[in-house]
Homo-oligomer: A and B are copies of this chain.
Amino acid sequence: MKKNWLQKPEWSWNQTEGQPTYVHHWVQPLDKFAESPDLILYGAPISRSSISVSGASLYPTEFRKMWKGYATYNLDEDIDLTSIRVGDAGDVAMHTTDILLSHRRIQESTQALAADYPNALTCMIGGDHSTTACAVRGVKDAHPEETIGILQLDTHLDVRDPAELGPANGTPIRQLIDGNAVKGENVINIGLHGYFNAKPLVDYAKEHKIQMVTLKQARKDGVVKTIQDALERLAKQVDRIYVTVDMDVLDISVAPGVPASTPGGLTAIELFDALLEIGKNTAVRHIDFVCLDPSKDTNVAETVKTGVYAWLQFVTGFACHSNQK
């Protein structure tokens, strides 16, 4: 593998005898795998690119700490996730003050993982939403000939102007469209609602044909059905789907640790159902979870716990369709 800036995390993996029963016994360092695992996890711990003060850079570490509380067995689906092999590639090394350099490292690391493990899903744990632009470009670099589509679960369009802000957390989708990495019509945003996108941004989205599905509409049609339809539609338009989950899509009452979460957002249950569905779709090759700031979370870590659960739902979905093979 080329130089890819990935560093061993403050590690929370523990070898155990026999069949692993908890997540920290099951997920293993990437370099422990002789062959490609099914899913590769890596962290992009940067949030100094955030418009407002953010501690989202702390999420990869807290995410791994919290997974000790989760069993590998899903009772609802009666499925044991240990059939899926998950490799943890560690965190991309971030520079203290050079944001552009840090962003390049995320792009290069994603490219390296996507190129070296073409059969594995990649899952990036942010960091703020600026990391998504880097990761998608990295995927594009690894597969330049393929068309990429984005399914975005988000309260915001994230199409603010990088010419004004630089590559900040409000700009990733616009970076990708303006930079020709992804076409606007290949972006579907589900979760928009209320008063959180200024009109000029909506105008940009319309002009570039971003497919906007409001939460109100999604609830009318059923959230799971909406996700299914969106993935099906997208799968016809593109070669591979990148899913980005901005955790601010969640309602503020279930995501106090996401500063940009809002009233009227997705419930945790809705997100869990959506991710189960997403995991089942074979066109989905990449996913990220961003913008969760553990330093703002409650004393019982409600939001980080929800974040781990969300990720496991995606893996469960993947396990469902893998097991059917």
Interface residues of A (CB under 8 A from B): 19, 21-23, 47-51, 53-55, 57-58, 70-76, 80, 95-100, 130, 164-168, 192-200, 202, 212, 214-217, 251-254, 256, 259, 261-264, 268-269, 272, 295-296, 298-300, 302, 305-306, 309, 312
Contact = CB atoms under 8 A, between A and B. Distances in A.
A149 B195 CA distance: 31
Contact of A272 (B202, B259, B261, B264): B264
Contact of A195 (B72, B215, B216): B72
16 contacts: A19-B199, A21-B198, A21-B199, A47-B53, A51-B96, A53-B58, A72-B195, A72-B198, A73-B195, A73-B202, A75-B194, A75-B195, A76-B194, A194-B309, A253-B302, A256-B299
B309 A195 contact: yes
Most buried by B among A99, A194, A299: A194
B75 A305 contact: no
A305 B79 CA distance: 36
Nearest to A268: B263
A130 B48 CA distance: 15
A199 B263 contact: no
